[in-house]
Chain A
Amino acid sequence: MDSAIAQKTWELENNILAVEAPNPSSDFIFYYDEVAQAMSLKAKPWGNDPHFFKRVKISALALLKMVIHARSGGTIEVMGLMQGKTGGDAIIVMDAFALPVEGTETRVNAQADAYEYMVDYSQTNKQAGRLENVVGWYHSHPGYGCWLSGIDVSTQMLNQQFQEPFLAVVIDPTRTVSAGKVDIGAFRTYPEGYKPTDDPISEYQTIPLNKIEDFGVHCKQYYALNITYFKSSLDCHLLDLLWNKYWVNTLSSSPLLGNGDYVAGQLSDLGISFLCT
Chain B
Amino acid sequence: MEIKRMASSSSSGLTFKLHPLVIVNISDHYTRVKSQLNPPPLTSTSATVNGVENQQQAPRVYGCVIGVQRGRTVEIFNSFELLYDPSTHSLDRPFLKKKQELYKKVFPHFYILGWYSTGSDAQESDMHIHRALMDINESPLYVLLNPAINPTQKDLPVTIYESELHVIDGIPQLIFVRSSYTIETVEAERISVDHVAHLKPSDGGSAATQLAAHLTGIHSAIKMLNSRIRVLHHYLVGMQKGDIPCENSLLRQVSSLLRRLPAIESEKFQDDFLMEYNDTLLITYLAMFTNCSSTMNELVDKFNTAYDRHSRRGGRTAFI
B-binding residues in A (CB < 8 A): 10, 13-16, 19, 24-25, 27-28, 30-33, 59-61, 63-65, 67-68, 70-71, 94-95, 97-100, 117, 120-121, 124-125, 127-131, 173, 176-177, 179-182, 184-185, 203, 226-227, 229, 231-235, 237-251, 253, 256-258, 263, 267
Contact = CB atoms under 8 A, between A and B. Distances in A.
B306 interface: no
Interface string B94-115: 0100110010011100000000
Contacts of A64: 20-21, 24, 189, 192-193, 196
A31 B40 contact: yes
Nearest to B149: A237
B156 A242 contact: yes
Interface in B232-278: 276
A121 B102 contact: yes
B178 interface: no
A97 B103 CA distance: 10
A235 B203 contact: no
10 contacts: A61-B24, A67-B188, A124-B95, A124-B99, A176-B188, A227-B203, A232-B28, A242-B20, A246-B185, A250-B217
B20 to A, nearest CB: 6
A129 B32 contact: yes
B208 interface: yes
A25 B39 CA distance: 11
Given A27-B31, A247-B224, A250-B217, A182 B190 contact: no
Contact of B203 (A30, A59, A185): A185
Contacts of B213: 181
Q: Among B25, B34, B54, B203, which residue has the most Cβ atoms of chain A within 10 A?
A: B203
A70 B188 contact: yes
Contacts of A14: 206, 208-209, 212
Contacts, number: 201
B296 interface: no
B60 interface: no
Nearest to A184: B202
B46 to A, nearest CB: 13
Query: What is the predominant secondary structure among interface residues of chain B facing chain A?
Result: helix
B212 A180 contact: no
A61 B95 contact: no
A229 B195 contact: yes
Contact of B31 (A125, A232, A247, A251): A232
A42 to B, nearest CB: 20
Contacts of B196: 60, 63-64, 229, 231, 235, 239
A40 B92 CA distance: 34
Interface of B: 20-21, 23-25, 27-36, 39-40, 54, 61, 80-83, 95, 98-99, 102, 105-107, 147, 149, 153-157, 182-183, 185-197, 199-200, 202-204, 206, 208-210, 212-214, 217-218, 220-222, 224-225, 276, 280, 283
Contacts of B200: 181
A229 B24 CA distance: 14
Given A61-B28, A129-B33, 4 more contacts: A31-B35, A173-B188, A180-B191, A241-B154
Contact of A181 (B23, B189, B195, B283): B195
A234 B26 CA distance: 10
A233 B214 CA distance: 24
A24 B51 CA distance: 10
B83 A239 contact: no
B81 A128 contact: yes
A64 B188 CA distance: 9
A129 B191 contact: no
Contacts of B82: 128
A235 B317 CA distance: 68
B317 to A, nearest CB: 24
B31 A234 contact: yes
Given A127-B83, A267-B283, A234 B188 contact: no
Given A129-B81, A235-B27, A253 B190 contact: yes
Given A19-B199, A232-B31, A237-B149, A181 B20 contact: no
A240 B34 CA distance: 21
Q: Among B31, B83, B209, which residue has the most Cβ atoms of chain A within 10 A?
A: B31
A234 B106 contact: no
A124 B197 contact: no
Contacts of A179: 210
A244 B208 contact: no
Contacts of A238: 23-24, 27, 156-157
Contact of A246 (B80, B190, B214, B222): B190
A256 B283 CA distance: 12
Contact of A32 (B36, B105, B191): B36
